[in-house]
Chain A
């Protein structure tokens, strides 16, 4: 395992601490290792972008340190910047340039030359599907295409560390899918003699975390409130191991009461009813006490009672629920 990024007590103040300044980032420490895709979550203003700006060397931390591939960001900025591919928030690009000229510029700055440069640009263009707009000034591109140009710039040189601030913001569903594939591919790329890489991305789209991330770091008001795998993250949900049912009970049966009688059931949430040809379908979510596995007991009860089940699903947990819980409780 190689450590690609290491943050130690990273702190950033905007303004002075004693006169109304803002502590945007508050003693954040974590490590990112080979092959990890770290999803950086947090409410608006939590300090995600600020942290990324410090890791990429744009902002200097007030205290603490960031190390990328063994190089301290403050002491050896150039060595760090060579290894990072960075998509800043809002994907800025030079408006009066064409994507072609822009990528050419980035490739030159990255020290790519001749055939290698051509290949790198071609690969990045293909991966982000911007081949059709290469000659069109960036300012006339749609928002999604602007972001793709920014992405192309970030992956151009096959960086060891890929840092992306809201990479899928403004992309259509197809492109979101493409970008997620791209991120996964980038993360596991052991090919071409490369020793793999680390990816950090911030996002507000929680399904994305499930889809691509191997780890979640959740921050609120500049502090880390959770650092775990997406599965662990979801297991913190009150919906973890809950069972969602759609069934048609015989008339007069209080199914909620029956379900609540199972010892490890916490409560039953009513999701409404639905008129079908066979009768009135009742939908509900049976919530497990302390996230215990209750699927077996629920199915047992349903079978024993002979209720007609139209649908039964075990929930892994709801990310937005955990997100809300963790970022609003600890005031």
Chain B
């Protein structure tokens, strides 16, 4: 992992020297606000938990995360800095991991900045803060899954637009895998084992249980291994497709 630290720091700083970070964070916060308080009927539900908040995260991430991940490698390819990065003494694993971790840390920052929602719910009632904590962890893991998919796709192309669209489509498939209309449709004809397999890839189902405060190691392991597999593929793509 030679060079992980510098790559990570450079990438993370990169978000904040351009308006990207601020635009992203502001939009993220506004949208979570709208979704939670308006669409999610946060107050009308009269329950002191953050279900209304977390329920919208998968859909929010569907469009916001690809906007972060699209530039990871596509931009380096386009501007030729990939050649620079790959000829500096940075191992491929370090470059892949450094970029991913910086993007992940950045979304983590955006997520942490939603703390006023947490303060509100604590002010209004007595929520289960343990469950909320795991909700945040689950949300962060899911963001990592989206990011890893996006990083992998970004490594395949020079065009950020293509990377964005493909990432949205692929992430959408991962979300849909557990969406009940889709599951119902599948159950009509597919053998149960296939339905189960497809469902097991669903971000929605996995995240839903975490957001409820149900801690299942398998859900955590799912996201963690998804990240590892995607980053591994990311590295392989880089090696095989350099110019």
The reply to whether A92 and B89 contact each other, CB–CB distance below 8 Å, is: no
Give min CB distance, B95 to chain A, whole Å.
Answer: 10
B192 adjacent to chain A (CB < 8 Å): no
Bound-state Cα–Cα, A78 to B91, Å = 7
Interface residues in B, total, Cβ within 8 A: 24
B243 adjacent to chain A (CB < 8 Å): yes
Bound-state Cα–Cα, A82 to B155, Å = 24
* A-B pair number, CB within 8 angstroms: 65
Instruction: Report chain A residues within 8 Å CB of B84.
Output: 86, 88, 92-93, 153
A135-187 residues with Cβ-Cβ distance < 8 A to B are 153
The reply to whether A108 and B87 contact each other, CB–CB distance below 8 Å, is: no
B5 adjacent to chain A (CB < 8 Å): yes
Give min CB distance, A147 to chain B, whole Å.
Answer: 13
Instruction: Report chain B residues within 8 Å CB of A106.
Output: 88
Bound-state Cα–Cα, A89 to B243, Å = 13
B79 adjacent to chain A (CB < 8 Å): yes
Query: Taking each of B10, B13, B18, B87, which has the highest tally of chain A beta carbons within 10 Å of its own beta carbon?
Result: B87
Pick the interface stretch among A52-60, A245-253, A295-303. A52-60
- Which single residue of chain A is at the shortest CB-CB distance from B7? A109
A34-76 residues with Cβ-Cβ distance < 8 A to B are 53, 56-59
The reply to whether B80 and A88 contact each other, CB–CB distance below 8 Å, is: yes
The reply to whether A82 and B89 contact each other, CB–CB distance below 8 Å, is: yes
Bound-state Cα–Cα, A57 to B242, Å = 11
A83-121 residues with Cβ-Cβ distance < 8 A to B are 84, 86, 88-90, 92-97, 101, 105-106, 108-111
A-B contact pairs, 23 of them (CB 8 A): A53-B83, A53-B243, A57-B87, A58-B83, A58-B87, A84-B87, A88-B83, A92-B79, A92-B80, A93-B84, A94-B79, A96-B14, A96-B18, A97-B10, A97-B14, A97-B17, A105-B6, A105-B9, A105-B10, A109-B7, A109-B90, A111-B89, A153-B84
Q: A95-B79, A109-B6, A110-B89 are in contact. List 7 more A-B contacts (CB 8 A).
A: A56-B87, A78-B2, A88-B87, A92-B79, A105-B10, A109-B89, A110-B88
7 shortest interchain CB distances as A-B pairs: A92-B80, A108-B6, A81-B89, A56-B87, A82-B89, A88-B83, A92-B81
Measured CB to CB, the residues of A under 8 A from B are 53, 56-59, 78, 81-82, 84, 86, 88-90, 92-97, 101, 105-106, 108-111, 153
Measured CB to CB, the residues of B under 8 A from A are 2-3, 5-7, 9-10, 13-14, 17-18, 79-81, 83-84, 86-91, 242-243
